[in-house]
Structure 1
């Protein structure tokens, strides 16, 4: 059985191996032990909000194989985008340039530096061993954060977003960055991405041009990548679209990748979410559900069969109850897989 649970400090070596061995490049998961330890520490404090005050919580989860004890995936949930600082993106718009004398009218696409999404809840820091991406574990890792979101709604915004990695060339470079960011920083994409991971995106955005950027002035290669996702993120996008997320006019300031957004009320997980007392039974049929406990500090989420009958109780088997640290009469949250 696979389970999503809060990260802890002993998971750091496993997360490092996951990132290195699988060539994972996620800005918010830097391959820097000190910075990674800081992120894990913040997450631990956030899960312990009942005892510790955290102004801007960030929750990191791992996907663990209970049989082997191995960590096969990691993901994060940031309560408030920017964590007290502006959360920068580019906003795509069209400007009309017209001349009545020449009878010319042109619609020109432009990019505006924006921090409109500041304060949104952000799904981020996703990484998973490739061999598990075509299993139920993939949906579990992506959607367990939303189960946590449903259980503790008061901690989060009604607006959610996620930044999808943009298109890179054969050399692993971003043509979008080469056409804009590199002109102002004189550093390559990989270096800028590393600095953003160990510091923040804020220091980059503060030095970016504040005036609109006219897309026709960018290289053709850069224009082609705007609001397009990296091929390796296709499964992520499909799942997010099925969940209720949509593409927006916002793109990432580094690689021009799309920013997906959803309102709480439109989320499939939220609309299907219920919480009821459990009965533990060896005789369980039913359908597959995402099932979680209701503990902030010791949150657990699995995929398993559940029988939702008439009334205020549901039936699950002992193995699932044990994995979720639940007993008869405890309350479980659940949503259709």
Structure 2
């Protein structure tokens, strides 16, 4: 397999735009709008070139490249500290318990409250793989390479991490959750609101959304049934997040009701178990399967490979991954077991 993940650059605009048109909506981090994507790439370029190794409000875009053809076939993103440019809103599902002595009855009501609890977290998102490449584990390479990137640049990322999963979208491209909750107040379709949010941010939610909790029992069945449910195409991603140590704690997306998964950054399995070592040999024939990464910031790249650690702490890797990553004996790599 000749695929590698690398830092995105301005020339990736058109392939990103072509992939954005395939998402089917509800994919805020990858809008089918050239100006918005160009702004992301410009912001990414600024983040890759910033020299201070400190926490700031930054965004990194990575792309999956076929090393033989140069074609871009997937992408993912990392945000270092959300909620700095505009508030980061979520709904939090909670339960209100009330008791009447006269009636000898206890009533529990589930609520959705508009919160900014997750503000300041870092975020992994924007993961999209071209439909023609959804085999061979490339989604795994995209997803887990993000954690290697964080481990390699740990001081640039917050101590809590989140991942938003797309919620249920119907065959018309609409959202039952939006129609049952926010859509009642905005007079906008889900697609219009989602697109506006992707281009302009969600301050309009703060301006117009009622601040009182929403009683879930008062929603229609279609809206209730999708709260905290991932889109069918996102179920595998949810399992991968759970395997990494992410948990669903009642936070849902304000647009489509999809689940927001959270974890402590240092507790994420691929970050915690990543290892840094110098290459002793780049001609390994048989070894443990791994994801191997090299470079820093704008020179970052990662690929599937094999590794074997020596007693002195150095590592042997296979020739194919060394070629994909452009590394050799004496160079430093990071890796995590596949």
Q: TM-score range by the shorter chain?
A: over 0.9
Contact 1:177 1:254 in 2 (8 A): yes
- Does 2:96 align with 1:95? yes
Supply the distance in 2 between the matched residues of 1:254 and 1:137 (Cα, whole angstroms).
28
Supply the distance in 2 between the matched residues of 1:164 and 1:114 (Cα, whole angstroms).
18
Q: Which residue of 1 aligns with 2:248?
A: 247
Deviation at 1:91, TM superposition (A): 0.6
What per-residue deviation string (whole Å, max 9, x for no partner) do you get for residues 19-46 of structure 1? 2246465112111111110011101111
Q: Which residue of 2 aligns with 1:128?
A: 129
Supply the distance in 2 between the matched residues of 1:136 and 1:167 (Cα, whole angstroms).
24
Indicate how the Cα distance of structure 1 residues 154 and 51 shifts in structure 2: closer, same or farther if over 3 A, else same: closer
Bigger CA drift: 246-255 or 164-173?
164-173
- Does 2:194 align with 1:180? no
Contact 1:265 1:271 in 2 (8 A): yes
What per-residue deviation string (whole Å, max 9, x for no partner) do you get for residues 209-254 of structure 1? 1111111111111011101111111111111111111111110001
Contact 1:46 1:54 in 2 (8 A): no
Gaps of 5+ in 1: none
Alignment of 1:1-337 (within 5 A): 1-21=2-22, 23=24, 25-50=26-51, 55-337=56-338
Number of positions where the alignment pairs a residue of Structure 1 with one of Structure 2? 337
Supply the distance in 1 between the matched residues of 2:288 and 2:32 (Cα, whole angstroms).
40
What per-residue deviation string (whole Å, max 9, x for no partner) do you get for residues 172-199 of structure 1? 2111111111111101000000000101
What per-residue deviation string (whole Å, max 9, x for no partner) do you get for residues 280-300 of structure 1? 332431011111114222101
Runs of 4+ in 1 over 6 A off after TM superposition: 51-54
What per-residue deviation string (whole Å, max 9, x for no partner) do you get for residues 96-155 of structure 1? 122211222110000111001001011111111123223221111111111000011100
Contact 1:91 1:113 in 2 (8 A): yes
Supply the distance in 2 between the matched residues of 1:249 and 1:333 (Cα, whole angstroms).
34
Deviation at 1:53, TM superposition (A): 10
Supply the distance in 1 between the matched residues of 2:235 and 2:329 (Cα, whole angstroms).
40
Contact 1:46 1:52 in 2 (8 A): no
Deviation at 1:58, TM superposition (A): 0.3
TM-score, normalising length: structure 1: 0.95
TM-score, normalising length: structure 2: 0.95
Supply the distance in 2 between the matched residues of 1:213 and 1:274 (Cα, whole angstroms).
46
Secondary structure in 1 matching 2:29? coil
Bigger CA drift: 318-327 or 186-195?
318-327
Supply the distance in 2 between the matched residues of 1:23 and 1:178 (Cα, whole angstroms).
18
Contact 1:3 1:65 in 2 (8 A): yes
CA RMSD of aligned residues (A): 1.8
Supply the distance in 2 between the matched residues of 1:9 and 1:299 (Cα, whole angstroms).
16
Supply the distance in 1 between the matched residues of 2:68 and 2:26 (Cα, whole angstroms).
28
Secondary structure in 2 matching 1:105? strand
Supply the distance in 2 between the matched residues of 1:225 and 1:102 (Cα, whole angstroms).
33
Deviation at 1:78, TM superposition (A): 0.3
Contact 1:288 1:336 in 2 (8 A): yes
Supply the distance in 2 between the matched residues of 1:319 and 1:135 (Cα, whole angstroms).
16
Indicate how the Cα distance of structure 1 residues 177 and 226 shifts in structure 2: closer, same or farther if over 3 A, else same: same
